[in-house]
Structure 1
């Protein structure tokens, strides 16, 4: 802070260092947008009261001592790590879906979509019939990864009616065996499904979706319909492809102690001066509720915690 007297209207980026259980740094990063940040020093005053004829109720001695240093903050935008901290858990990467290789041979038809024979593609490479030329997507052809088809472009290097070799990877396969329960949703064991095929126990009969069963691809649930051909209690073999997933999953209620280092890179908009706050270690916890179905505004994460003075430091925080 500057030496001169000043008022403060601050904006700033709050960086988080999620410390390991041993207190080691994992590096600083932005975890969202902090719209409230309150460092506070708690204290109590001890008073020695007088009880004399003319001094009853007066204070003979007084001593104020620091009891703790606390910090509270609110995040109205957040990444998985800070959400995990609110729920006293961890954020882990979603498991990678094992991709399945595919190959196909198709005939170019300028301006028309040609099916590759495999849908839900992850990658797609197009070569000539001798595999000596690799064509450029967007210049020589377009590809629809979801439906698994390509369209050659007349302005590109692919000759109309040419034989093309197409290869790449598609969404990974899955298999499952479940027991039918009429009109109730049953977990398949995988979510984020791309396709779902349901057969009987010996794989001799393929059932019809929306007649014999319904499927929720997002959640990986199947519901056998009582008016269909599947008997309650029957064993069903299920197979298909899983969508490629990205992101992180939060496992809540697994870490009772969460320590972070904090660094505020702030600016005083009154005079343009820099303002910084450094908290070496704060043991934080979530406060209040986080309404996942809030409709009256963006829900915020509220935190509070105790600032700790680690070994080698003489104060729990610095503000300058």
Structure 2
């Protein structure tokens, strides 16, 4: 028979089928561009029997394999939701938010730091975000007020008033100032005019996309202050990966390949692979990032897999 040279240069499409809790296949999904796909050399343990007779001393006269292990590794360049779920050993889901309006959401302000609101995709129409201090109780006559207490006029206006000198209020309500920082004496107590509704950029910043609020340092909102936030939000559908929800990942793997050197096709099937992420997930990098995986090829009743060469 004449010799036929059969070298190999390979390309291939990688498909991953994540097995459910019962070990059942759920459907093969393309993993995208696989830059590397290697089946590693098998790790084999053997028990050898050595001859002790004069005719065979030191020679192996019997050998059995006591352990056979084989693994694989591959590298993906596609940061798809499915691939990222595998990289984080998590579960992919679509999280939906309906459009709506939120009124008086309670928020504890942090100076110079963002605090998450209940909703994302904040809108500027029909009205922008309204951030207010918690409205205090109405002023009352002949009442002892402590330092830092707040009151509002019995006929509310656009301000609230902080007790900056403790004391007892008068029998008649004071004429409330409407300039922030201005004071008024009320019996033995002194009130200072404060904002009730705050000003964007001066007092707070909004992250409209993620839905966060930050008190501006040096603004009228103090660190730890209780706020009430009114806003409208749009509908949103967000692809979400819940991290580290799986204790193990077992998959069926298919590589539909092409031997470029011989112009022939291959079909590699691995029936059950215990898959693990093996590389860093580099979200900040100057070059294209990759996702790296290793896996142990497991044996099933049908064997470990098969390789078909289709000329």
TM-score if structure 1 supplies the norm length? 0.67
Q: Which has the higher contact order (CA 8 A, sep 6+)?
A: 2
State how many pairs are aligned: 242
1:47-66 to 2 correspondence within 5 Å? 47-50=48-51, 57-66=58-67
What is the CA–CA distance in structure 2 between the aligned matches of 1:15 and 1:201, rounded to whole Å? 56
Deviations 1:76-115 (A, max 9, x none): 113112211121111111x21213xxxxxxxxxxxxxxxx
- For the Cα contact (< 8 Å) 1:200–1:235, is it kept in 2? yes
Choose the corresponding residue for 1:197, options 130, 147, 151: 130
Which residue of 2 is the match for residue 308 of structure 1?
Answer: 298
8 A contact 1:33–1:78 mirrored in 2: no
Q: CA deviation at 1:61?
A: 2.8
For the residues of structure 1 that align with 2:237 and 2:73, how far apart are their CA atoms? Answer: 32
3-state SS of paired residue (2:236): coil
Q: What does residue range 243-282 of structure 1 map to in structure 2 within 5 Å?
A: 243-282=234-273
Counterparts of 1:54 and 1:318, CA distance in 2? 42
For 1:319, the equivalent position in structure 2 comes to: 307
> Are the equivalent residues in 1 in contact too, given 2:98–2:236 (CA < 8 A)?
no
Answering whether residue 272 of structure 2 is matched by residue 284 of structure 1, we say no
TM-aligned CA deviation for residue 54 of structure 1: 8.2
- Aligned equivalents of 1:221, 1:266: Cα separation in 2: 48
Q: Counterpart of 1:32? A: 32
Q: Distance in 2 between matches of 1:266 and 1:62?
A: 36
Residues 246 and 271 (structure 1), Cα distance of their counterparts in 2 relative to 1, 3 Å cut: farther
For residues 32 and 242 of structure 1, what CA distance do their matches in structure 2 show? 35
**How far apart, in 2, do the equivalents of 1:86 and 1:248 lie?**
15
Q: Please give the root-mean-square deviation of Cα atoms over the aligned residues, in Å.
A: 2.6
Deviation at 1:184, TM superposition (A): 3.1
Secondary structure at 2:272 match in 1: strand
Aligned counterparts of 2:114 and 2:279: Cα–Cα separation in 1: 33
Aligned in 2, Cα 1:183/1:78: closer, same or farther, shift over 3 Å? closer
- Deviation, 1:206, is 3.1
Q: 8 Å contact 1:97–1:242 — kept in the other structure?
A: no
Equivalents in 2 of 1:80, 1:248: separation in Å?
A: 7
Residues 135-214 of structure 1: pairs in structure 2 closer than 5 A: 172-175=100-103, 176-195=105-124, 196-202=129-135, 205-214=196-205
Structure 2 length normalisation: TM-score?
0.69
- TM superposition shift of 1:72: 1.6
Shift of 1:230: 2.7
Deviation at 1:285, TM superposition (A): 0.5
- Give the match for residue 225 of structure 1: 216
The secondary structure found in structure 2 opposite 1:82 is helix
Which residue does the alignment assign to 1:73?
Answer: 74
Question: How far did residue 4 of structure 1 move?
Answer: 5.9
User: What is the Cα deviation at residue 243 of structure 1?
Assistant: 4.3
Q: 1:242 to 1:51 in 2, by over 3 A?
A: farther
Task: Return 5+ residue gaps in structure 2 as ranges.
Answer: 137-157, 159-195
Distance 1:29 1:206 in 2: 52
Instruction: Mark the runs of 5 or more structure 1 residues left unpaired by the alignment.
Output: 100-171
**Could you tell me how far 1:271 is from its partner in structure 2?**
2.7
Match in the other structure for 1:146 = none
